Amino acid sequence: MDIHNIRAFLMVAETGSFSRAADKLFITQPAISKRISTMEFSLDCQLFDRLGKNVQLTQAGAALVPSYQRILAELNESERIISALRTDVSGHLRFGTSHHIGLHRLPPVLRDYTRQHPKVELDIQFMDSEQAAALILKGEIEIALITLPDTIDKPFTTIPVWSDPMQCVVANDHPLAKQKTVTRKQLAEHGVLIQSHSTHTRDIIDRALKLDSNIKIIMESNYLETIKAMIQNGLGWGVLPESMIDKSLHRLKIRDVKMERHLGVLLHASRTLSNSAAALLENLKNR
């Protein structure tokens, strides 16, 4: 089976469109159609149902997706092994990161890295932790810089890089800013702008503040810059990393509450890193 045909098949399956798949692979739509037709002729079965502008996997097509993803991951692994044999740090480095790390932690790291390894071409993708894990598993990115979970399952492993203390904050003219200390009950009387459910950061906040379903949620978002802007304008209280708190915000003193998350690297424990990824990892370990 031609590897280009497999790439085309998986991209059409992912996008649900011949034209979008062609755009992502930087080839023409007729070329995509020809590759899929070649596969269907070779396998003597239809892989997609053509439904107007969209396409949908048939039962046979859906059955092929897992095995073809493994084939592609193995091919990428082979290419990384060969790349690792080279002594120079060069090539294409694709990795994922959260928006917060990309804005507040990565710039000085990447400044030093690109000065040390000018031959490396960086491809930085912003994503959440769950998406990063899925892309690492498929071999589409090598590493990710994310908020680390308390526990991690195989085949993943994590490397802590930064500690990230967090505090409850309000605007300077918010009613809670007048209080010397604030109780959890007082927090519950005011609206909150908070991180989304199913994130490690939200889990830390919920445990520390013992938040329940009665909390008045004004907005949930994974974008901390948006949460900060809303808090600055007096729309409610929230929790932000220390690195984002400035004079426009007031820190709330809450007895017996300490919140801290850990930021770092997520990677596949058994996968060989390219020289460019290994060099970035070494740079992070030395921070």
Domains of the chain, start order: 3-83 (1.10.10.10), 88-161+263-285 (3.40.190.10), 163-261 (3.40.190.290)
> What b/e sequence results for 7-38 when a residue is b if at least 16 CB atoms lie within 10 Å of its CB, and e otherwise?
bbbbbbbebebbebbbeebebeeeebbebbee
- pLDDT for the residue numbered 153: 86
Residue 60 and residue 47 in contact, taking contact as beta carbons nearer than 8 Å? yes
Alpha-carbon span 52 to 55, nearest angstrom: 7
Alpha-carbon span 241 to 40, nearest angstrom: 53
Q: Look up residue 80 and give its amino acid.
A: R
Is the CA virtual torsion 262, 263, 269, 275 positive or negative?
negative
Alpha-carbon span 69 to 138, nearest angstrom: 7
- pLDDT for the residue numbered 77: 86
Residue whose token pair is 């004079």: 247
- pLDDT for the residue numbered 285: 87
Residues of the chain above pLDDT 90, percent:
72
Instruction: Read off the pLDDT of each residue in 193-213 and give the average, rounded to a whole number.
Output: 88
Q: Has residue 287 got a pLDDT over 80?
A: no
pLDDT grade for 212, boundaries at 50, 70 and 90: confident
Q: Has residue 135 got a pLDDT over 80?
A: yes
pLDDT grade for 131, boundaries at 50, 70 and 90: confident
- pLDDT for the residue numbered 128: 84
pLDDT grade for 254, boundaries at 50, 70 and 90: very high
pLDDT digits (tens, 9 = 90+) for 87-126: 678 888 999 999 999 999 999 999 999 999 999 999 999 9
- pLDDT for the residue numbered 5: 94
- pLDDT for the residue numbered 83: 74
Please give the residue that has the higher pLDDT: either 46 or 76: 46
Residue 97 and residue 106 in contact, taking contact as beta carbons nearer than 8 Å? yes
pLDDT grade for 129, boundaries at 50, 70 and 90: confident
Q: Has residue 150 got a pLDDT over 90?
A: no
**Which runs of consecutive H residues, i.e. helices, occur in the chain?**
3-15, 18-25, 29-43, 59-84, 99-104, 106-116, 129-138, 184-188, 200-209, 224-232, 275-285
Instruction: Read off the pLDDT of each residue in 155-175 and give the average, rounded to a whole number.
Output: 95
Instruction: Read off the pLDDT of each residue in 271-277 and give the average, rounded to a whole number.
Output: 90
Residue 196 and residue 202 in contact, taking contact as beta carbons nearer than 8 Å? yes
- pLDDT for the residue numbered 222: 86
Alpha-carbon span 198 to 155, nearest angstrom: 21
Q: Has residue 85 got a pLDDT over 80?
A: no
β-strand partners of 95: 124, 143
Instruction: Read off the pLDDT of each residue in 31-48 and give the average, rounded to a whole number.
Output: 94
pLDDT grade for 261, boundaries at 50, 70 and 90: very high
Contacts 24+ apart (CB under 8 A), 8-13: 8/32, 8/35, 8/36, 9/35, 9/36, 9/39, 9/47, 9/61, 9/64, 9/68, 10/65, 10/68, 10/69, 10/72, 12/36, 12/48, 12/55, 13/48, 13/57, 13/61, 13/65
Please give the residue that has the higher pLDDT: either 249 or 76: 249
Alpha-carbon span 93 to 114, nearest angstrom: 12
Is the CA virtual torsion 20, 26, 28, 33 positive or negative?
negative
pLDDT grade for 151, boundaries at 50, 70 and 90: confident
